Amino acid sequence: MFKNLTIRQVSIIISSVIWLIHLLLLFIIVFGVQKVKLGFIPLLGYGIISFILSYLVIQIILGKFIFRRIKLVYKFISASKDSLQEISEHDKMNTTLEDVQSQVEKWAVEREQEISSLKSLENYRKKFVGDISHELKTPLFSIQGYLHTLLDGGMYDEEINRKYLEKAANNTERLQLIVEDLEMINKLESESEELLIKKFDLKELVLEVFSDLDILAKERSITMCIKPGADKAFTVIADREKIRQVLINLLSNSIKYNNEGGKTKVSFYDMEEVVLTEVSDNGIGIEEIHLKHVFDRFYRADKSRARNIGGSGLGLSIVKHIVEAHKQKITVRSTPSSGSTFGFTLKKFA
pLDDT tens by residue, 199-238 = 999 999 999 999 999 999 999 999 999 999 999 999 999 9
Partners of 143 in the β-ladder: none
CB 171 within 8 A of CB 139: yes
Confidence of residue 13 (pLDDT cuts 50, 70, 90): confident
Neighbours of 281 (CB within 10 A): 27
CB 265 within 8 A of CB 282: no
Q: Give the number of C-alpha atoms closer than 13 A to the C-alpha of residue 15, restricted to the C-beta side.
A: 22
127 pLDDT more than 70: no
pLDDT tens by residue, 277-316 = 999 999 888 888 888 888 887 776 655 445 555 556 788 8
* Residue percentage of the chain with pLDDT more than 70: 69
**E strands present in the chain:** 197-201, 223-226, 235-239, 263-271, 274-281, 330-335, 339-348
Rounded Cα distance, 258 and 281, in Å:
7
- Give all domains of the chain, ordered by start, each with its CATH number: 7-95 (no CATH), 123-190 (1.10.287.130), 197-348 (3.30.565.10)
pLDDT at residue 312 in the model:
61
